[in-house]
Chains A and B, each alone.
Chain A
Amino acid sequence: MSHSTHAVAHDQESIHHEATPNARSFVTFAVLAGMAALALFIGFSDLGAMKVVASLAVATVQACVLAYFFMDLRAADKLTWLAAVSGIFWVFLMFLFILTDFITRHLGVL
C-alpha cells in the first residue's frame, strides 16, 4: 500500500536525524556572532545607499546559516524543506505584487 510505503520513507529520512552535537552548535554560534559583528560594523560605517544592501545581504546569509544549522534544515525531510521554501516564495509574491504598485507611485514627484 502506498500508505505504508510513505511511512517507510519517513523512517528512512528520520533514521539519520539526531540532535546537533554541541561542538557543531558552538561553531555555528561563532559564525553567527561574527556575522552579527559584521552587521554592526556595516551599520556604523558610512556606505551611503549601499549600506542597506550590504546590511540585508549579511542578514540574509545569517538567516540562512541559522535555518540550515540551528533550525536543522541540514537534516530535515523533504516536507520541511517544502514548508520553508513555500514560506519564502509566498513572502516573495507578497513583496512583488505590493511593491510593484507602491514604489511606482509618485515617482520622484513632490
Chain B
Amino acid sequence: MAANTVEGPVAHHFNNMGQQLATVRFGMWLFLVTEVLFFGGAFCAYTAYRVWYPRDFEAGSAALNVGIASVNTFLLLTSSLTITLAIRSAYVGNRNGLMRNLLFTIALATAFLGLKAREYQIDYEEGLMPGSYTTMKPEAAKRDAELRDALQPLVPMLDAAVSEQEAIAFVPGKYPRVVRDPLAFYKFERLEHLFQKVSGRLNHAPDGFNENVVLALEEVHYKGERTDRIAPSEVAAEVDAIRALKVIPSKAELEAEAKKKHDKGEFNPSRVQLFFMFYYSMTGLHVLHMIVGLGLLTWQLIFARMGFFDHKSRYVYIEVMSLYWHFVDMAWMFLLPLLYLCGPHTSGQAVEQFQMAIGLTHSGH
C-alpha cells in the first residue's frame, strides 16, 4: 500500500507513515489547544480590567516604547516565514537549506529577545514598574503634608460610617449588600473609594473591607507615602461632597458623573500600575515561550547538522516545531494592539523611540 509519498522508518505502534505523521501533528495541535487556553486566561483578565478602567489602561499603554514593539512585530513575522522555508528544505532533503533557514529563524528570534530586553531596561529606567510611583511623578513627595491635612476630616467620618454596617437594605445602583442605613452605607462606599484612590489599594472584596479601609487610612495618614495618585484639593472636595450628601444619587446620576470623569480623561495611577502588571506578565509569558522556542530551534539545528533530518519523513518534526513557533507569533499579534497600541501613539514617536532605544539619538534628559 503506497500510503504516502514520504518514506522513512515507521514506529512499531503505527500502521503506516501516513498515520504516524498525522499523529505527530495531532499531538502538537492538542498541546497548542492548552496554550490557547493558557494565554486566553490572561487575555480574559485583561479584558475585564480594561472594561473597568479604560482610561488608566490607555495611560499606561501611552508610556510604552512602541518603536521596539513595531520592529519586533516584523522580526517575528519574518521568523515565521523562515521556519516555513525550513520545513520545505527538510521536505525536499536539502540539509544546507534547512540549516540556513533554522539559523535565520534563530537570528531573528535572538534579535527580538535582545530588543525586548532593551525595552524592559528602558521601562525600568523610566519607572514603569508595578509598585513604583515616585519615578512616575517626582513632584509627588511635596504634596504629602497637604494631603494629610485634607484627610483629617475623614477620620471621624470613617468611625461613624463603620458603625453603620451590618443592616438590611439594598443600595440602588450598586451590587446588593445588607445594610441598615442606605445613605450611611453609600457615604461609606464613597469614602472607601476615596481611600482606595489615595492608598492605591484595589479592593472589591465585599467582606472584610472595613479592615482594609482602616489599613489604607493608616498607611496614608501615618506614613505619608504614595500620595501622587490624587491631588489634596481633590480629596478635600470629595470629602465635602460626601458630607453634603442628603440622598443617594440615582444610578443615572452616578453614571453621568462617571462618564464626565471618563470624558475628561481622568485616570488613577494605581490602576495604571495594574496595566503594567498585565504588561509584564503577558509579555513575560510570551518571552518565556520564545526562549523555549529558541532552545528547540537550536536543538533542531544540531540534529540537522548531524544528519537526523536526512530521513525525509522527519521533516514533520520541523513542521510541528513550526506550529509552536507560529503560535508564539499569533499571540504577539494580539499583544501588540492590546498592550502597545491601546493608548495614543504616533508613527513619528515610534521611530524616535526606536532610534533612542538603539542609541542613535539621545532622549531629552
Interface residues in chain A, defined as those with a beta carbon under 8 Å from any beta carbon in chain B: 4, 7, 10-11, 13-15, 17-22, 25-26, 28-29, 32-33, 36, 39-44, 46, 51-52, 55-56, 58-59, 62-63, 66-67, 70-72, 76-77, 79-80, 83-84, 86-88, 90-91, 94-95, 98-99, 102-103, 105-110
Considering residues A14, A19, A26, A79, which has the most beta carbons from chain B within 10 angstroms of its beta carbon?
Answer: A19
Asked if A10 contacts B22 (CB within 8 A), the reply is yes
Closest chain B residue to A96 by CB distance?
Answer: B44
B235: chain A residues within 8 A (beta carbon): none
Cβ of B267 under 8 Å from chain A: no
Q: A21 to B88, Cβ gap below 8 A?
A: yes
Of the candidates A43, A56, A79, the one whose C-beta lies within 8 Å of that of B340 is A43
Q: List, sorted by A's number, 22 A–B pairs whose CB atoms are closer than 8 Å.
A: A10-B18, A13-B18, A14-B3, A19-B87, A19-B319, A20-B84, A22-B85, A25-B81, A25-B88, A28-B84, A36-B333, A39-B341, A58-B337, A70-B326, A87-B37, A88-B36, A94-B41, A94-B44, A105-B204, A108-B259, A110-B189, A110-B193
Query: Which of B23-31, B156-164, B221-229 is found at the contact surface with chain A?
Result: B23-31
**Taking the complex as formed, is B140 at the interface, i.e. its CB lies under 8 A from any CB of chain A?**
no
Query: Within 8 Å CB of B87, what residues of A?
Result: 19-20
Q: How far is the CA of A78 from the CA of B190 in the complex (A)?
A: 56
Looking at chain B's contact residues, is the secondary structure mostly helix, strand, loop, or mixed?
A: helix
Q: Which residues of A contact B26 (CB under 8 A)?
A: 79-80, 83
Point out residues on B near A: beta carbons under 8 Å. Answer: 1, 3-5, 15-19, 21-22, 25-26, 29-30, 32-33, 36-37, 40-41, 44, 47-48, 51-52, 66, 70, 73-74, 77-78, 80-81, 84-85, 87-88, 90-92, 173-175, 189-190, 193, 204, 251, 254-255, 258-259, 315, 319, 322-323, 326-327, 329-330, 333-334, 336-338, 340-342, 344-347, 350
Q: When the two chains form their complex, are residues B48 and A18 in contact, meaning their CB atoms are under 8 A apart?
A: no
Contacts of B40 in A (CB 8 A): 90-91, 94-95
Name A72's closest neighbour in chain B (CB-CB). B319
| Total inter-chain residue pairs, C-beta < 8 Å | 195
Determine the residue in chain A with the shortest Cβ distance to B86.
Answer: A19
CB distance from A108 to the nearest CB of B (A): 4
CB distance from A45 to the nearest CB of B (A): 9
Minimum Cβ distance to chain B for residue A51 (Å):
7
Closest 6 CB pairs of A and B: A43-B341, A55-B337, A19-B91, A14-B18, A108-B255, A102-B48
Highest count of chain B CB atoms <10 Å: which of A11, A56, A98: A11
List, in ascending order, chain A residues with CB within 8 A of B258's CB: 108-110
A13 to B338, CA, bound (A): 38
**Chain A residues within an 8 Å CB radius of B29:** 80, 83-84
CB-nearest residue of chain A relative to B348? A44
Q: Which residue of A is nearest B344, CB measured?
A: A46
B78 touches A29 (CB 8 A): yes
